[in-house]
Structure 1
Amino acid sequence: MADDILPGDTQAQGEAGPQLRILTQYIKDLSFENPNVPRTLGPLEHQPAIGVRVDVNVQRFSETDFEITLAIGVDAKTNEEQMFLVELQYSGLFRLTNIPADSLEPVLLIECPRQIFPFARRIIADATRDGGFPPLLIDPIDFVTLFQQRRGDLSGAPEGTMPN
């Protein structure tokens, strides 16, 4: 009975469904600047202003393999004095198979970064903590909205063009 192929069992018929695999993850670039230490390490009169920038870049290596780079920049100031700067490029090498062409771009720009974001978040938290500040835990990122904003920015690009 184990050798029977059931109707709709595409795996057994040699047709695998869509698959997303993370082959590896790594830090491409990490920079932490702490220019006004130790002045900025003591008690603060005001909450620091913290700005976070996020971008997602895709590089195709083969028909199925893609490098997704999550670029996160953090700028923290108090009373116009720089507290710290963090720049992180965290990447994952993904293998995508049997993804429909019309779903490829959303998978690359939404689902792949969503998979590696928690690791990037931890790296930034560790860097800020190791720099003498409380760990900065970046709020979860809505990659769907980021994707939609990016698509709006590329409205003049030819259909099917994927940003690099």
Structure 2
Amino acid sequence: MANGNGSGTDANADAVPAINAMVQYTKDFSFENPNAPRSLGPQEKPPNIQIQVNVNARQIAEADFEVNILLEGSAKSEADTLFKFELDYAGLFRLVNIPANETHPVVMIECPRLLFPFARQIIADAVRGGGFPPLYIDPIDFAGLYRQRLSQVAANAEAPTVA
């Protein structure tokens, strides 16, 4: 049955689950190029690039969550550091009609997945601005990170305590 405005929507439309990105922002960012200009010359070998990823979240209101992606990385050639970066990129998300038992995985998997392309671009631009080719970080398996974190929590809960 159509409602009075002719849109044809039904009463169940309000029950559709949704993730609304309210705002996204850089909380903290650092880029270091400690050996410039020496590090900007041609390199004999590709650099050794290390990247660490962490996801944190906190509940702000009943349906609102702040989610942070923490990306730390460095590029080294032999013993020299070419560059280092740290990015804390966050977003405020409102979850609508998400069942309580699905809230945690949605916040820790889907929200960072939505933030990642923006964080990736910030890092690529900063590395390029530092005189290097842009660093495009490979896509991150946030579901795999989530499962890994759950396994670590379970292992720590099962570990005997030393008195």
* TM-score, normalization by structure 2: 0.89
2:12 to 10, 13, 18: 10
| Cα offset, 1:17, TM superposition | 2.1
| Cα offset, 1:22, TM superposition | 0.2
**Identity between Structure 1 and Structure 2 (%):** 51
Number of matched pairs: 153
* TM-score, normalization by structure 1: 0.88
* 1:85 counterpart = 2:84: yes
Q: In structure 2, how many angstroms separate the alpha carbons of the residues matched to 1:77 and 1:99? A: 43
SS of residue paired to 1:22: strand
Q: In structure 2, how many angstroms separate the alpha carbons of the residues matched to 1:17 and 1:3? A: 18
| Cα offset, 1:149, TM superposition | 0.5
SS of residue paired to 1:21: strand
| Cα offset, 1:153, TM superposition | 1.0
Q: In structure 2, how many angstroms separate the alpha carbons of the residues matched to 1:59 and 1:132? A: 36
Q: In structure 2, how many angstroms separate the alpha carbons of the residues matched to 1:80 and 1:66? A: 41
- Which structure has more helix as a fraction of its residues? 2
Partner of 1:161: none
**CA RMSD between the two structures:** 1.8
- Read off the aligned partner of 1:119 and give its amino acid letter: F
Partner of 2:133: 134
Partner of 2:47: 48
Partner of 2:101: 102
- Read off the aligned partner of 1:95 and give its amino acid letter: R
Structure 1, unmatched stretches of 5+, are 158-164
Partner of 1:20: 19
SS of residue paired to 1:10: helix
Q: In structure 2, how many angstroms separate the alpha carbons of the residues matched to 1:3 and 1:26? A: 39
Structure 2, unmatched stretches of 5+, are 158-163
SS of residue paired to 2:135: coil
